[in-house]
Chains A and B, each alone.
Chain A
């Protein structure tokens, strides 16, 4: 191992990625450059925009504001984990249906923040949705369609649970 490098092993979307990294390597760079999962984006330096939002052990965090070494041994979910067996997640369906994205750059972060929100609150009000995505900036959509999409997805997920 090169001097100063630290062995890091992170479970991303159910797959383990192990590498020797500099301690200063940002988690988002581990995800993008080492795991080559490019859906997680970088939009700022100041923990403001949320484009890099992922779930770590189920909690939403901004992966540009963590070092990869801090995530050693933990489980991460990125936007690439949402669709399974070619079936989109209800949030993805709803974002598509409601035109909740334009340039698409903030979308992965928005989806992950929304995923976290719905994991804590299965039927959020409009105000709770706004608050739930307040850590994610979108410059294109004006947010209204995103709010609609999250509300709709929540409804569909709940309806799905009832019929099960």
Chain B
């Protein structure tokens, strides 16, 4: 029996699926990973390899008067020591890839190694190359830097004040961008019966991939080519940026990203150390490796979130939500990182109308430079922030109007029959059925009964609550014409090559670069389905710029819809050609050819059949009249799929919490997630993405916070202080799906990598605020650690 996911898939594709797509296939990639045979960057070793280490500024803001390297150079085993001054003419500053227009976007001349000023704790000041990583680490301690310590600022609302320390000459009040957005009818704010206001905060987070960043650059002098193995979500984008920073032709650079141990957005950006390694390997004509330790990772791999939102929501007495007006202070850190300008703006504000039929969205985003690590994309990148503020305000509005929060949502949701729906922010939601997902989640948790039970228990002094987090996210970035219009440096299409070898085996080259999301498996399922070829015969190839056509990489829940869409289209091209060859072989015309169960035959003669492998053999044989006159040999097709629209996954998560009235620890009693990412290539993997996503969302809600002190020291610079949850801290989840295909995608898929994270934080915070409703508390800033809840309750009581 086909699974539910398969039935949907058949509907979308209009043809029978071969029972592989939509099933819970075990992952191909696991075979190597459960046996310790994965190859991560730091596992790679070359003869005569040298090791780099970076001296990093211990001060958040300091002028560099001088850097003395003599003693370090004298240490036996040290090969090279270079400072910012040695390198500043050899490379350009690190650029941003997102030149947001109409935002007065400033450019930050941020160099790979600082030469004038250090702007955050961890800013590289010098680099050492040595024969062992131990010696390299020893040598950086022998470098003598004369710093003039300057006043520092780490909080964005402080940084914009007059007289605050300034990071860059010419950037007044540290404001690096100011982006105003107005969609819809502004007058609704005057007509509203109620306007509720709240200051909400999405705290700073440290992405915390278990594998830290690592890279090895290896120069091949004879060919004047450099290869860099590195932890990357987007190898081609990295090559493109390295090429521009170093002035090395793109075709003389090769980026290989082997197995990547998690990323969550933190391995998208172009960073200085990787650039410096390429330079060093060319200079020293030797392979040079560098692997971050965890402290370095926390100090100098991009952070996420750190937005302060001043939110107003306007509504009518009857609960009709009219619109939101938001002012956002977004902390960008010490420089403008690769996609940072888009995170608090385009990726967030366009989703401020969420699942609701709003009439106006107004926003001002102030992007602020501070003496902290750069902030960039982290799982969800802008969309969790948008969903959080809207969902929190919807709950507060329900409380204000004394309406049930589920009922308020129902009333305002866009209806199933209204899709595609043009929102007031200018996005076109492809498809959706928000009511069904909500009702399914409410049924699962037995909402009505639970709410009544909560009321009863609260009267008895128990702090119990139920919270809803509904979301729609804009994923599958994205249509190039739209992202280019927002200033993104490249299009966001995706490439795919489907290569049927003479033996009928299939290699699929994708420009995506999955690193845990399982597309080596799901794409083999997809291709098996599309080509009607055996699953075992299909291998995915990705992560190497010398092998793969230019690709955009894996992030933003884009790989299944966009890379998958590209692969499906390439498969269809392959079959088109194969059909012509089959017709030639079977002495008929292509429109008479039937392809069923992996075999071609003429409609009139179903007994004479040709397998795909027969066609492939002929395509490469190319002699003895095997190919039609004039046809090129080979059976391989490439697509560059540029989607017509984003895709918009959605869902509702609901949870019950109980707060210990004494310790104020939050216990998650039940957690129900209903998600709709369209047809699912592999429901097991979808569930896995949801599980992991929820835990990162609940980590933001309850545990994690990146903290800088007033002088700019990162207090949470280790896993002992930055509270990533362990198995003891997480609840069980009950997951379910609805299946609403996207009409704007070749395989109907919508992407699911970020969904759990987006939904979990508002669901949990809403539940906690609900549990505290007797105290009239409208907000507690995340993370909701017991101390914060205790403080809020204490303040409410007094």
Binding site for B on A (CB under 8 A): 22, 24-25, 32-33, 36-49, 51, 78-80, 82-83, 88, 92, 95-97, 99, 101-108, 111, 129-131, 133-147
Instruction: Tell me which residues across on chain B come within 8 A of A78, comparing CB atoms.
Output: 36
- From 5 to 61 in chain B, residues with beta carbon under 8 angstroms from any chain A beta carbon are 26-27, 29-40, 42-43, 45
Q: Knowing A39-B37, A99-B685, A141-B691 are in contact, say whether A133-B727 is a contact too (CB < 8 A).
A: yes
A105 touches B210 (CB 8 A): yes
Binding site for A on B (CB under 8 A): 26-27, 29-40, 42-43, 45, 134, 208-212, 259-262, 264, 293-295, 515-518, 684-685, 687-688, 691-696, 718-720, 724, 726-728, 730, 732-733, 756
| Top 10 A-B residue pairs of the complex, sorted by shortest distance between their CB atoms | A39-B36, A105-B261, A104-B33, A103-B516, A142-B691, A102-B516, A48-B719, A142-B695, A79-B36, A38-B43
Minimum C-beta distance from B581 to chain A (A): 39
Instruction: Tell me which residues across on chain B come within 8 A of A133, comparing CB atoms.
Output: 726-727
CA distance A45 to B212 in the complex (A): 11
CA distance A154 to B37 in the complex (A): 24
Closest to B732 in A: A144
Instruction: Tell me which residues across on chain B come within 8 A of A47, comparing CB atoms.
Output: 720
Query: 19 A-B Cβ contacts within 8 A?
Result: A33-B45, A41-B210, A41-B211, A46-B718, A83-B35, A92-B35, A96-B30, A99-B684, A102-B692, A103-B259, A104-B33, A107-B34, A108-B36, A129-B727, A133-B727, A139-B208, A142-B733, A143-B726, A145-B691
Instruction: Specify which of B38, B684, B733 lies most central, judged by the most chain A CB atoms within 10 Å of its CB.
Output: B38
Instruction: Tell me which residues across on chain B come within 8 A of A138, comparing CB atoms.
Output: 210, 727
Closest to B515 in A: A103
A82 touches B39 (CB 8 A): no
A48 touches B720 (CB 8 A): yes
Chain A interface, >50% SS class: loop
A48 touches B718 (CB 8 A): yes
Closest to A92 in B: B34
Contact with A97, one of B26, B31, B208, B518 (Cβ below 8 angstroms) = B26
B36 touches A37 (CB 8 A): yes
A82 touches B35 (CB 8 A): yes
Contact with B730, one of A22, A82, A142 (Cβ below 8 angstroms) = A142
Instruction: Tell me which residues across on chain A come within 8 A of B756, comparing CB atoms.
Output: 142
Minimum C-beta distance from B609 to chain A (A): 36
CA distance A136 to B733 in the complex (A): 20
A103 touches B209 (CB 8 A): yes
Instruction: Tell me which residues across on chain B come within 8 A of A141, comparing CB atoms.
Output: 688, 691-692
CA distance A102 to B259 in the complex (A): 11
Instruction: Tell me which residues across on chain B come within 8 A of A130, comparing CB atoms.
Output: 726-728
Instruction: Tell me which residues across on chain A come within 8 A of B733, comparing CB atoms.
Output: 142, 144
Contact with B727, one of A46, A139, A143 (Cβ below 8 angstroms) = A143
CA distance A99 to B208 in the complex (A): 21
A139 touches B209 (CB 8 A): yes
B294 touches A44 (CB 8 A): yes
Instruction: Tell me which residues across on chain A come within 8 A of B33, comparing CB atoms.
Output: 101, 104, 107
Minimum C-beta distance from B723 to chain A (A): 10
Minimum C-beta distance from B758 to chain A (A): 15
A49 touches B210 (CB 8 A): yes
A99 touches B718 (CB 8 A): no
A80 touches B35 (CB 8 A): yes
CA distance A136 to B725 in the complex (A): 10
Closest to A79 in B: B36
Q: Knowing A38-B39, A139-B724 are in contact, say whether A103-B211 is a contact too (CB < 8 A).
A: yes
Q: Knowing A46-B719, A103-B515 are in contact, say whether A134-B727 is a contact too (CB < 8 A).
A: yes
Q: Knowing A99-B685, A102-B517 are in contact, say whether A44-B211 is a contact too (CB < 8 A).
A: no
CA distance A25 to B517 in the complex (A): 35
B210 touches A43 (CB 8 A): yes
Q: Knowing A103-B211, A105-B210 are in contact, say whether A146-B34 is a contact too (CB < 8 A).
A: no
A103 touches B134 (CB 8 A): no
Instruction: Tell me which residues across on chain B come within 8 A of A107, comparing CB atoms.
Output: 33-34
CA distance A29 to B730 in the complex (A): 32
CA distance A48 to B726 in the complex (A): 10
CA distance A47 to B294 in the complex (A): 11
Contact with A42, one of B36, B39, B42, B718 (Cβ below 8 angstroms) = B42
A134 touches B726 (CB 8 A): yes
CA distance A11 to B114 in the complex (A): 46
Minimum C-beta distance from B756 to chain A (A): 8
Instruction: Tell me which residues across on chain B come within 8 A of A134, comparing CB atoms.
Output: 726-728
A44 touches B718 (CB 8 A): yes
Instruction: Tell me which residues across on chain A come within 8 A of B685, comparing CB atoms.
Output: 99
Instruction: Tell me which residues across on chain A come within 8 A of B294, comparing CB atoms.
Output: 43-46, 49
Contact with B262, one of A102, A135, A147 (Cβ below 8 angstroms) = A102
B694 touches A142 (CB 8 A): yes
B295 touches A38 (CB 8 A): no
Q: Knowing A96-B26, A139-B264, A140-B692 are in contact, say whether A46-B36 is a contact too (CB < 8 A).
A: no
Minimum C-beta distance from B673 to chain A (A): 11
CA distance A101 to B295 in the complex (A): 25
Contact with A105, one of B40, B45, B518, B719 (Cβ below 8 angstroms) = B40
Contact with A49, one of B719, B730, B732 (Cβ below 8 angstroms) = B719
A104 touches B29 (CB 8 A): yes
CA distance A22 to B32 in the complex (A): 32
Closest to A148 in B: B732
Instruction: Tell me which residues across on chain B come within 8 A of A88, comparing CB atoms.
Output: 34-35
CA distance A137 to B718 in the complex (A): 13
Instruction: Tell me which residues across on chain B come within 8 A of A111, comparing CB atoms.
Output: 34
CA distance A48 to B717 in the complex (A): 12
A103 touches B261 (CB 8 A): yes
Instruction: Specify which of A42, A104, A144 lies most central, judged by the most chain B CB atoms within 10 Å of its CB.
Output: A104
Instruction: Tell me which residues across on chain B come within 8 A of A46, comparing CB atoms.
Output: 294, 718-720
Q: Knowing A43-B210, A131-B728, A136-B726 are in contact, say whether A79-B35 is a contact too (CB < 8 A).
A: yes
Instruction: Tell me which residues across on chain B come within 8 A of A104, comparing CB atoms.
Output: 29-30, 32-34, 38, 259, 261, 516
Instruction: Tell me which residues across on chain A come within 8 A of B262, comparing CB atoms.
Output: 102-103, 105, 139-140
Instruction: Tell me which residues across on chain A come within 8 A of B516, comparing CB atoms.
Output: 102-104, 140
Instruction: Tell me which residues across on chain A come within 8 A of B30, comparing CB atoms.
Output: 95-96, 101, 104
Q: Knowing A46-B720, A103-B260 are in contact, say whether A142-B34 is a contact too (CB < 8 A).
A: no
Instruction: Specify which of B30, B687, B694, B728 lies most central, judged by the most chain A CB atoms within 10 Å of its CB.
Output: B30
Closest to A25 in B: B134
B718 touches A96 (CB 8 A): no
Instruction: Tell me which residues across on chain A come within 8 A of B259, comparing CB atoms.
Output: 103-104
Contact with B695, one of A40, A99, A135, A143 (Cβ below 8 angstroms) = A143
Known: A48-B718, A99-B26, A135-B726. 10 other contacts (CB 8 A): A38-B43, A45-B718, A49-B719, A96-B26, A99-B688, A103-B262, A134-B728, A139-B724, A142-B692, A142-B733
CA distance A137 to B732 in the complex (A): 17
Closest to A130 in B: B727
CA distance A76 to B786 in the complex (A): 41
Minimum C-beta distance from B56 to chain A (A): 14
Instruction: Specify which of A40, A92, A103, A108 lies most central, judged by the most chain B CB atoms within 10 Å of its CB.
Output: A103
A145 touches B688 (CB 8 A): yes
Closest to A50 in B: B726
Minimum C-beta distance from A134 to chain B (A): 5
Minimum C-beta distance from A138 to chain B (A): 7
Contact with A43, one of B29, B211, B732 (Cβ below 8 angstroms) = B211
Minimum C-beta distance from B261 to chain A (A): 3
CA distance A42 to B728 in the complex (A): 22
Minimum C-beta distance from B759 to chain A (A): 13
Closest to B699 in A: A139
Contact with B726, one of A44, A51, A137 (Cβ below 8 angstroms) = A137
Minimum C-beta distance from A63 to chain B (A): 13
CA distance A43 to B211 in the complex (A): 6
Minimum C-beta distance from B313 to chain A (A): 31
A39 touches B35 (CB 8 A): yes
CA distance A97 to B34 in the complex (A): 11
CA distance A37 to B39 in the complex (A): 11
Instruction: Tell me which residues across on chain B come within 8 A of A38, comparing CB atoms.
Output: 36, 39-40, 43
CA distance A51 to B718 in the complex (A): 15
Minimum C-beta distance from B518 to chain A (A): 7
